[in-house]
Amino acid sequence: MARSSDAQNTHAAAPVKQAARVAQKLAHKLACADALAAGRGLALTTLRRQVYTLIAQSERPVGAYELLAALEPQRGRVPPTTVYRVLDFLVEHGFVHRIESKNAFFACCQMGEPHQSQFLMCDACGETVEIPGDALAAQLSKSAPAHGFEVHHQVVELSGLCAACKRAHA
């Protein structure tokens, strides 16, 4: 009987451990954001930090109107233009990426470091993973002139199914 109880306790502890890992990951992202802002002399205002936190805690890109809805209980009605200015700041200074195809935002995995990224986005659950890929970006940029094309901005977004959704659809 003790074995069954131990197995149940171990199984019940899994969500608690997962929640602790998620909280630890978010705390790390927030510490990196604070360090980046301090190192560059940027003001990470309360609103900027709240918006960054909402984006950083999500495993999928977050749209401006989702952010507005999430901010309302804490701050009351925030004008959309204010949130868009905050998002512009966060993108400009490398805290988040704009996911072009979804008109949404995703926390940067290499905050403060110049890099090119590609994004894997699950069509079923929306989970998104940033993959740093300077080599691929350079290769794509080098091939463009052969076609008479000048690259100004590069975004690579790959859509499909994440491992969990792939298993669920099998």
Q: Give pLDDT tens digits for 93-122.
A: 999 999 999 999 999 988 888 888 899 999
22-46 pLDDT, tens per residue?
A: 899 999 999 999 999 999 999 999 9
The domains of the chain are located at 1-108, 115-170
Tokens, residue 129: 């993973």
| Other beta carbons within 10 Å of 106 | 23
Please compute the mean of the pLDDT values over residues 152-169 and round it to a whole number.
90
Architecture in CATH of 1-108: Orthogonal Bundle (1.10)
Question: Helices 64-75 and 46-56 sit at what angle, rounded to 10 degrees?
Answer: 120
CA distance 91 to 64: 13
| CATH code reported for the domain at 115-170 | 3.30.1490.190
